[in-house]
Amino acid sequence: MTMTPAAVALHGVSRTFGRGPSAVTAVDDVTLDFPRGGWTAVMGPSGSGKSTLLHCAAGLERVDTGRVLLGSTDLTSAGDAELTTLRRTRIGFVFQSFNLIGALTAEQNVALPLRLAGKRPSRSVVRATLDAVGLADRARHKPRELSGGQQQRVAIARAMVTRPEVLFADEPTGALDSTAARTVLDLLRAMADAGQSIVMVTHDPGAAARADSVVFLRDGRVVDRLAGADARGVADRLAAWER
Amino acid sequence: MLGMSRAGLAERWTLFVGALLSVALGVALVQSSLLLLISAAQQSSDDAAVPMLGIVLGGAVFLAGFVISSTFAFTVDQRRRDLALLRLVGGSRRQVRRLLLGEAVLLGLGGAAIGVPAGLGVMAVQTWLMRRFEFVPPAFTGEWRMWILGVSVGTGVALAVAGVLVAARRAARVRPLEALRESGPAARVMTAGRWVAGLFFFGGALALVIVAPHGGPAGGQAMAMNVAMPAAVAVVAFGPLLVPVLARLVPFGGGVLGSLARANVRDARRRSASVAAPLIVLIALVVGNTGAGESFTASGVDEMARSTHADFVVEGTVPARPGVATVSAETSLDAQVVTGSGEDQETTDVTALVIDPRAYAVVHGTSVDVHGQAVARGPGGEVSTSGSVRVRLPGADLGELPVVASVPEMMSGGASLLLPPGLVPAAALAQAPTRSFVALAPGADASAVRADLARYGPVFTAGDWLRADAEQRNSTNDKVMLVVLGLGGLYALIGVINSIVIGAATRRREFAEARVTGLTRGQVVRSALLEAYAVTGAALLLGTVAASAAFFAVLATTSAVTGSATLKLPWPLFAAVAAVALTVTGVTSLITSLSATRRPPVTLLAARE
Ligand SMILES: Nc1ncnc2c1ncn2[C@@H]1O[C@H](COP(=O)(O)OP(=O)(O)OP(=O)(O)O)[C@@H](O)[C@H]1O
Ligand SMILES: [Mg+2]
């Protein structure tokens, strides 16, 4: 055991889709630690199993073999009720397609996880969270009245309102232009600096370079790990592995 | 959760209009039928009114349950992504269930709020129909009861909640990951529940088809008339398997639109099945039951024609005349048969015929040996063929009489008791109508005899009389069918419209994608229309399959009872229903796809939720 236990630890995790000759092993015997209080980026070619790895790490996808530990909680043996509770309290998600509920305003979307947890969210907490992503003035807008970057920031606010141990993000900037993407990355950087553990899948070397370390995946296996590299360094390494 | 329910309802209102309408109409129909049933039971009216209203009430509850639950299941299915998203951000299974139940309660209350006043309108229509067809006297009115308010609100909520229960259980099993897939692996459409329900109702229909021929004329007819319903439910349960396969057989024509429509039918199996379901029920019930009814009538006429050996029928008493070989004068009386005693005593209203056994045997081709203080069981059944019965006539109690003979039961029914002459006091006979079946002597001059007979009452040839008798019976049949099936059919059509509207409400994005891919608005609309026609065609075919189950029962029953299998298919009705179905699905599809493509496609694709 290291001094600071990992936020999320994977031990020999495998996940295969399908059966017989058409079976695809999306994640192949991966053992990996995502450090607490750090921002880890996951990169790799399309279809290399990044999303599947993230889903397994977050308890959204069943694993075939291996164990996934969130802190000291074993996700692989948790039942549906326990996983639901974890999603309410200890895990936050952000995805490429923002996945806000269209019927609810930004404010209501952000308050939703708290309300699902049976708490009465105080307006000030919700407002403060929206304020942190720079959207205090858009609280009463519905998702369709917001730009893509704004919707993604509402999604981040929704993920952060429960103060989760780990924030999982799958290509959070994938659908955004470079300006909106920078705003989102700045936000994540500030959160990581404040001690938030973040696991982020991305295609963009520029985005990966903002993280503390980068994990490279190929054919479902971890092939490399890089710390403190700049965009150039990440891009070179990625190019090397994609060859 | 209630807040979420409300917000959800407000946002996706187009999705819920259908559900709301089906609840409202269900409440209206149930309320109206219940009020009329109670009014009819209290005011003295035709005997036929109460059982008919009972059937209408049962039918209304069945159809309401069916349409509402399939509409709800469909709306829930269309929202799988929303529900998965709720799970993703920490919603539990129970919360998903509670959300849907909350919506159902709101829809039930809303449906009742619309359904109660609408029920007054439905009651006016039903009352008018029943007066028109003389099921009730002209002075009959349906009476309002205050307590019906509670019943209607309860009906609305109960129907809605019952309708959503299965769907809610299913929705609670949605996996959070499904929120992340644009078009997730479509939920499995042939669920275990569908298999179980399908096989169960298939078994029920099959059992009825097998047992009906052994049920005698009355039982057999009743069973055959009840085959279409379970057969339709079975076919509907297997809809997601059957509809796409059949719909693909419909010629689409070549070209890009045809292949797009074909791909859509295959891909959206759930939507296709849910448009087809009410149509299948509509066809099966209307065509199956009308066909069965007409076939039994035709079979009864054939049977009568084969067994009646008379040349003329005179509405009056004919004495022995020159040129006449046999006269069977039959006097018809309203009788009551009393069975059991004390608490268990039961009274049945039947028709009794006072006959001359010898003449009756000659004219109707069946020997009946009854004389003195005894009765015979007539062709109408209802009375046991042995033992004794207690017979009451208006103004005369004949007391306990042995049943000493019986004639075969007939498809077309008739009198249940045959009484020998001399048993009934002359006073009781004085006012009763008599009909004489007249057989000519060999070599007699038919027209001369006919002229002679006219002195005793209106004269018909036997053939004319049988036809007129059948027509009269048929028209009563048609009236009942019209009242019972008309409203049900209307309801089923609303179910179809619901499914298309709900389907289109969730297809905005799909249409927009097709348009940015290069299809014109007209092409998108035409392809949706083609798809609607293919699904309607498949539904017509499957409805006919379900109706055929009833026809099998008809063939088996008529063959067992009369010795000759009879089937009379209601082609004009089928054509009319098919035309209505095609028009309704066509027009609805046109309107909904036009409205779903009203806005330019980019505005739709820009919004990501
Ligand atoms: N639900 C599923 N069913 C079947 N196969 C799947 C499923 N999810 C993923 N796969 C397969 O697993 C492999 C890895 O998929 P995954 O989505 O994890 O890749 P990825 O690295 O995220 O790719 P991208 O960068 O394109 O998002 C792919 O070959 C994919 O086809
Ligand atoms: Mg991915």
What's the rounded mean pLDDT across residues A89-93?
89
For residues A74 and A76, give the distance between their C-alpha atoms in angstroms, rounded to a whole number. Answer: 6
Categorize the per-residue pLDDT at A69 as very low, low, confident or very high, splitting at 50, 70 and 90: very high
Look at residue B184 in the predicted model and tell me its pLDDT.
46
Q: Between helices A178-193 and A148-160, what is the axis angle to 10°?
A: 20
The dihedral over CA atoms of B514, B519, B525, B526, expressed in degrees to the nearest 10, equals: -120
Helices of type H across B212-268: 216-225, 228-237, 239-249, 255-267
What's the rounded mean pLDDT across residues A111-125?
84
Categorize the per-residue pLDDT at B342 as very low, low, confident or very high, splitting at 50, 70 and 90: low
Residue B252 token pair: 């689409």
Most confident range (mean pLDDT) of A137-151, B194-208, B390-404 is B194-208
Q: Considering B188, B216, B233, which residue would you say is the last residue of a domain?
A: B188
Task: Tell me whether strands B346-354 and B417-419 are parallel, antiparallel or unpaired.
Answer: parallel
Contact list in B for residue A80 (CB cut-off 8 A) is 93
Indicate whether B184 and B194 sit together in one domain: no
For residues B58 and B126, give the distance between their C-alpha atoms in angstroms, rounded to a whole number. Answer: 15
What's the rounded mean pLDDT across residues A183-209?
91
Choose one of A13, A16, A17 to mutate for the ligand 1 pocket test, by most ligand atoms within 8 angstroms of C-beta.
A17
Reply yes or no on whether the pLDDT at B10 is more than 80. Answer: no
Look at residue B468 in the predicted model and tell me its pLDDT.
83
Indicate whether B170 and B194 sit together in one domain: no
H/E stretch holding A15: strand A8-17
Ligand 1 and A220: CB distance under 6 A? no
Look at residue B4 in the predicted model and tell me its pLDDT.
61
Closest residue by Cα to atom 3, ligand 1, is A17
ipTM of the complex: 0.83
Indicate whether B204 and B95 sit together in one domain: no
Reply yes or no on whether the pLDDT at B170 is more than 90. Answer: no
pLDDT, mean over chain B = 82
Facing A113 at nearest CB: one of B8, B12, B89? B89
> Domains in chain B: how many in total?
3
Indicate whether B159 and B20 sit together in one domain: yes
Indicate whether B237 and B321 sit together in one domain: no
Q: A47 CA to middle of ligand 1, Å?
A: 5
Categorize the per-residue pLDDT at B546 as very low, low, confident or very high, splitting at 50, 70 and 90: very high
Q: Considering B133, B160, B188, which residue would you say is the last residue of a domain?
A: B188
Indicate whether B481 and B376 sit together in one domain: no
Indicate whether B467 and B577 sit together in one domain: yes
Categorize the per-residue pLDDT at B182 as very low, low, confident or very high, splitting at 50, 70 and 90: low
Indicate whether B395 and B451 sit together in one domain: yes
Look at residue A1 in the predicted model and tell me its pLDDT.
43
Look at residue B113 in the predicted model and tell me its pLDDT.
94
Indicate whether B197 and B183 sit together in one domain: no
Reply yes or no on whether the pLDDT at B326 is more than 90. Answer: no
Indicate whether B152 and B6 sit together in one domain: yes
Q: What is the pLDDT of residues B504-540, one digit of tens each?
A: 777 777 787 777 777 788 888 888 888 888 889 999 9
Phi/psi at B599 (5° precision): -80, 150
Indicate whether B259 and B288 sit together in one domain: yes
CB burial class (10 A; 0-12, 13-18, 19+) of residue A78? Answer: middle
Q: Considering B188, B216, B240, which residue would you say is the last residue of a domain?
A: B188
Q: What is the pLDDT of residues A14-33, one digit of tens each?
A: 999 988 888 899 999 999 99
Look at residue B402 in the predicted model and tell me its pLDDT.
84
Domain span including residue B137? 1-188
* Binary contact (A103, B12; C-beta < 8 A): yes
Indicate whether B296 and B334 sit together in one domain: no
* Verdict on whether the full-model pTM lies above 0.95: no
Look at residue B152 in the predicted model and tell me its pLDDT.
93
Look at residue B340 in the predicted model and tell me its pLDDT.
67
Categorize the per-residue pLDDT at A2 as very low, low, confident or very high, splitting at 50, 70 and 90: very low
Look at residue A36 in the predicted model and tell me its pLDDT.
92
Look at residue B608 in the predicted model and tell me its pLDDT.
45
Reply yes or no on whether the pLDDT at B609 is more than 50. Answer: no
